[in-house]
Amino acid sequence: MDFSSKLLENAVNEMSQLPGIGKRTALRLVLHLLKQPQQHTELLVNALHTMRDQINFCRNCHNISDTQLCEICANPNRDASIVCVVEDIRDVMAIENTSRFKGQYHVLGGKISPMDGVGPGELTINSLVNKVKEGTIDELIFALSSTMEGDTTNFYIFKQIEGLDVITTTIARGISVGDELEYADEITLGRSIINRIPFESSLKSN
Amino acid sequence: MDFSSKLLENAVNEMSQLPGIGKRTALRLVLHLLKQPQQHTELLVNALHTMRDQINFCRNCHNISDTQLCEICANPNRDASIVCVVEDIRDVMAIENTSRFKGQYHVLGGKISPMDGVGPGELTINSLVNKVKEGTIDELIFALSSTMEGDTTNFYIFKQIEGLDVITTTIARGISVGDELEYADEITLGRSIINRIPFESSLKSN
């Protein structure tokens, strides 16, 4: 792309560094900002700058939080003995939306992925292992996505805490509520048969 | 969406003001910035701020430009007597890419669209009419997209310069090179038959 302005070119180049934003989309976004009053750009720029500059993480669960201890970890009604291990804040938000989990979280900050240069040291695994060693956690629920990286991360953590006095579980994999069996993939359908549950308990979980 | 951090919520809200960016996409983009070194955010923020603050428009064609007169208008080899009327910088870039146009441009900055609150006063139509009145322009090529708003804008400008000594043309509408006739819409195909050209001139334009 040949730009008639270096300023515009710079803005488009930086915008297109964001994931899923190509040069064309970046140009569309930047031209939109130019059409709006200058104040719109200032609000965006300030929000991004302030966030990146002042962002904080909960010292217990490592979720993004404006306070030292996030709302969930600071809530005395949440059960600190059950900890759900997730990848990032989006998973916390998704599980919180269900209103079905009353324990605490541990946010890893990613999954082990050598291809992307993410080893165990980049994640908050040590902090999790230390929490388990303190002996206050009864159950660890693995809720990472079921991919090669997710499974690797689960297994790595499992190995680190092997022998310690903690139960490890993983969220159920199966056919989504409302899905047709014929369109389900074989692995999911197979697992849902092997890990079938008593019909009575399925009634309770509605 | 329930955010655990006001800073994050602010950033996501501002980001989702951009066209085509929903809350979920905005969250993905913002979390990406958080995973990158702080410097990435600073580069983006500075590029956007500087652009919005210092952006300039060519005083002749109103295209975005870092100089008072853009490169095209300042180029003595471009024919100032043929002016192509376009909506915005993207159209200039698209036509420049073809290397087929050696005249100058006039960037309107949009199309007349009462639904979006854009009247003739918001565009650079007056400046165009004045240029035509000066008598240095021989031909005006309308190259707006062929929509209701584009047609309205063309017609409005046409009425403003009626009676002045200038030829007005519009870019050819027809079947795209490489397209199958059976998939073309009726209006385009119909126009391409009515506005057929001598076979010999089609050989020259390859």
Amino acid symbol at A33: L
Is A1 within 8 Å of B110 when comparing Cβ atoms?
no
Mean pLDDT for the stretch of residues A135-162: 94
- Position A1 pLDDT exceeds 90: no
Q: Could you say which of B49, B51, B53 has the minimum Cβ distance to residue A8?
A: B51
- Position B33 pLDDT exceeds 80: yes
DSSP A87: S
| pLDDT computed for residue A20 by the predictor | 95
Mean pLDDT for the stretch of residues B93-100: 92
Report helix angle A6-15 to A23-35, nearest 10: 120
Range scoring the smallest mean pLDDT among A37-41, A199-203, B136-140: A199-203
Mean pLDDT for the stretch of residues B104-124: 94
Which tokens sit at A191? 């697992």
| pLDDT computed for residue A206 by the predictor | 62
Q: What count of other Cβ atoms lies within 10 Å of the Cβ of residue B27?
A: 22
- Position B31 pLDDT exceeds 90: yes
Placement of tokens 């929903």 in the chain: B22
Mean pLDDT for the stretch of residues B109-114: 94
**Separation CA A62–CA B34 (nearest Å):** 13
DSSP B175: P
Mean pLDDT for the stretch of residues B89-115: 94
Contact status, residue B92 vs residue B164, Cβ threshold 8 Å = no
**Separation CA B57–CA B109 (nearest Å):** 11
Q: Could you say which of A28, A63, A93 has the minimum Cβ distance to residue B19?
A: A28
Output the CA angle A43-A46-A48, nearest 5 degrees: 105
- Average pLDDT, whole number, for chain A? 92
Q: Which residues pair with B168 in a beta bridge?
A: B140
Contact status, residue B85 vs residue B108, Cβ threshold 8 Å = yes
Is B90 within 8 Å of A42 when comparing Cβ atoms?
no
Prediction ipTM score: 0.86
- Position B73 pLDDT exceeds 70: yes
Give the distance from residue B150's alpha carbon to the nearest chain A alpha carbon, in angstroms.
Answer: 18
Contact status, residue B107 vs residue B87, Cβ threshold 8 Å = yes
* pLDDT tens per residue, range B150-184: 999 999 999 999 999 999 999 988 888 888 888 88
- Position B203 pLDDT exceeds 70: yes
- Position A205 pLDDT exceeds 80: no
Give me the percent of chain A exceeding a pLDDT of 70: 99
> Of residues A179 and B156, which shows the higher confidence score?
B156
Give the distance from residue A150's alpha carbon to the nearest chain B alpha carbon, in angstroms.
Answer: 18
Amino acid symbol at B130: N
A92 phi and psi angles, rounded to 5 deg: -60, -45
Contact status, residue B151 vs residue B157, Cβ threshold 8 Å = no
**Domain architecture of chain B: domains with CATH:** 6-54 (1.10.8.420), 71-171 (3.40.1360.10)
Contact status, residue A28 vs residue B96, Cβ threshold 8 Å = no
Band (pLDDT 50/70/90 cuts) for residue B43 is very high
DSSP A57: B
**Separation CA A178–CA A199 (nearest Å):** 17
| pLDDT computed for residue A2 by the predictor | 81
Strands A167-170 and B79-86: unpaired
Band (pLDDT 50/70/90 cuts) for residue B89 is very high
**Separation CA A183–CA A118 (nearest Å):** 34
Q: Collect all residues of chain A within an 8 Å Cβ-Cβ radius of residue B72.
A: 4
| Ramachandran class of B135: left when φ > 0, alpha when ψ lies in -120 to 50, beta otherwise | left
Give me the percent of chain B exceeding a pLDDT of 70: 99
**Separation CA B167–CA B196 (nearest Å):** 20
| pLDDT computed for residue B206 by the predictor | 63
Is B44 within 8 Å of A89 when comparing Cβ atoms?
no
Mean pLDDT for the stretch of residues B190-204: 83
- Position A27 pLDDT exceeds 80: yes
- Position A64 pLDDT exceeds 80: yes
DSSP B146: S
Contact status, residue B93 vs residue B68, Cβ threshold 8 Å = no
